[in-house]
Structure 1
Amino acid sequence: MKQLFIKSAVVCCPDRELLSHFNLPGSDIDNSFIPAGIRRRTSMTTRMAITAAKLACLQANTDPQNLASVFASLGGEIQVTDALCRLLPDDNELLSPTQFHNSVHNTTAGYWGILNKCQAPTTAIAAADDTFAMGLIEVWAQLQQGKGERLLVCYDELWPQYLAPPIGQTAFACAFVLSSEAEQAIGAITMPQVAQQYKQDMQAEWLKLAETAPAAAVIPLLLAVQHKQVGLVPLNIKAPVWACQFKS
């Protein structure tokens, strides 16, 4: 099986203090990436994910117009969907066409394609605690078929807290440009697999954060990239633990 090469790795987290526990750099939402006319119709989910995706493409010097992508999110447009569901019992309330349009799980992927005039294939994935790991496996499977690059974006926004606490207490997005080619790579990973003998202690701060923001499962990989720490990297927090080998 081929290695997967990392060309860029970016975090967008509106609460920057959360990243200070890990000494990770991060970006706030950059509204300049979305024209005002479109921005008014988008949620925090979309603005956060697009910020991470755009910065990842810039960091990798990759043209997003021809870049196939995978968007992985446990909740997707959870705030919009929740608002629509609360309106349904009221016969006097009309559903907003814009809100309805924005309520599907692949909304963010759709806006990304529109903004970048990108007609390359895109995949939207949700897999509970395994969402980031499954997104990575999807990219892996696609790049085994031939040379090229893929954009992987994993994200979740703040949830209405009556739904599934503690999930959704933190908004977090990350994005990677991944490639089958080693040129200009900042690291490489092996194929994600279930780690039967995983013994590495998981950081308490990471476990706590990933429970409130499933996309934060990415943090051990981000730390490995930042510090060039070769070794086994967990990709989720609940058994079975998915992991990959990071190589600098």
Structure 2
Amino acid sequence: MECMSLLGVGACAPDTEFRASLPFPAFDINRDTIPPLLRRRSSQAMQMAFSAATAACEKAQRPPSAFPAIFASVAGEIKTTDQICTELVKDDGVISPAGFHNSVQNTAAGYWSIAQQCTQPASALAAGSDTLPMALLEAWCQLACQGGELLLVCYDETWPEYLDPGRGNPAFACALVLAAGAVDGRLMQIGRPQAGEAIFPAAWTNSVNSMPILAAIPLLEAVSAGKGAQTIALTPHTPGWQVDVRGWE
């Protein structure tokens, strides 16, 4: 496979001030993307993931149930997990079965399959500060082996402040609908993620050090700009990960 084609994109940033600072279009959480029966038990992470994923599918003009999905998050359901740990150290040590059920890394992926009545495979991954490049590499591998199209969602909710002071903020999610090879109507061609020396934009380095999933900003900015071929850094550390992209020219 020579490249992946980007067919649709969506970005969700609940913080109004941060959203306004982004160099590409983003929006607040759209709770209507989650069915009412699931909405009451949804976390910020799940709400953002669904909002971005739905927008990307609409942009690509694809039904959400049409293809496999990959959900990537550094910390997953960190707020729910933190709450469970807090309850465990109390004298009675009783935790909510629903809370435990919703604390796993694949919570958003599982509920997405349920909500969209999607029988295609869905996977969840985490790789610390390399979560974004590993998610793109996983997408590349699946498309190279199986062809077709897939949905990639990268997201992280705000982390409890005391767990890692100065990190885990602001919350953010983005979603990409990707296809194997060069497909008509694509927004951008994306190459295979690889190790390299590309320099991450200094303006966003501090933000990514605080919230690693924000490493997607340069790639999303390139999508918004549209034209030209360039190499995009996927991590703020050097050497790190990078990807070659080409706009619609």
TM-score interval, normalised by the smaller of the two chains? over 0.9
Contact 2:70 2:123 in 1 (8 A): yes
Following TM superposition, by how much is the alpha carbon of 1:92 offset from its aligned partner in structure 2, in angstroms? 2.1
SS of residue matched to 2:46? helix
Aligned AA (2:220): L
Which range moves more in the overlay, 95-104 or 165-174?
165-174
Contact 1:174 1:215 in 2 (8 A): no
Contact 1:231 1:245 in 2 (8 A): yes
Relative distance call for 1:204 and 1:21 in structure 2 (3 A) is farther
Identical aligned residues as a percent:
40
Following TM superposition, by how much is the alpha carbon of 1:93 offset from its aligned partner in structure 2, in angstroms? 4.7
1:114 aligns with 2:107: no
Contact 1:21 1:205 in 2 (8 A): no
- Superimposed CA distance per residue, residues 19-51 of structure 1 (whole angstroms, 9 cap, x where no aligned partner): 333432101100111122211011001011110
Give the equivalent residue in structure 1 for 2:17.
Answer: 17
SS of residue matched to 1:132? helix
Q: How does 1:136-215 map to 2 (within 5 A)?
A: 136-181=136-181, 182-195=183-196, 197-198=197-198, 200=199, 202-215=200-213
Contact 1:153 1:173 in 2 (8 A): yes
d(CA) in 1 for partners of 2:50 and 2:242? 26
Aligned AA (1:51): S
Give the equivalent residue in structure 2 for 1:233.
Answer: 232
Which range moves more in the overlay, 91-100 or 14-23?
14-23
Aligned AA (1:191): R
d(CA) in 2 for partners of 1:239 and 1:107? 32
Give the equivalent residue in structure 2 for 1:66.
Answer: 66
d(CA) in 2 for partners of 1:137 and 1:214? 17
- Superimposed CA distance per residue, residues 124-159 of structure 1 (whole angstroms, 9 cap, x where no aligned partner): 110001001100000000000132111000000011
Calculate the TM-score normalised by the size of structure 2: 0.94
Aligned AA (1:86): T
Aligned AA (2:120): A
Calculate the TM-score normalised by the size of structure 1: 0.94
Contact 1:12 1:51 in 2 (8 A): yes
d(CA) in 2 for partners of 1:23 and 1:154? 18
d(CA) in 2 for partners of 1:169 and 1:3? 33
d(CA) in 1 for partners of 2:56 and 2:147? 19
Aligned AA (1:238): H
Which range moves more in the overlay, 88-97 or 210-219?
88-97
SS of residue matched to 2:138? helix
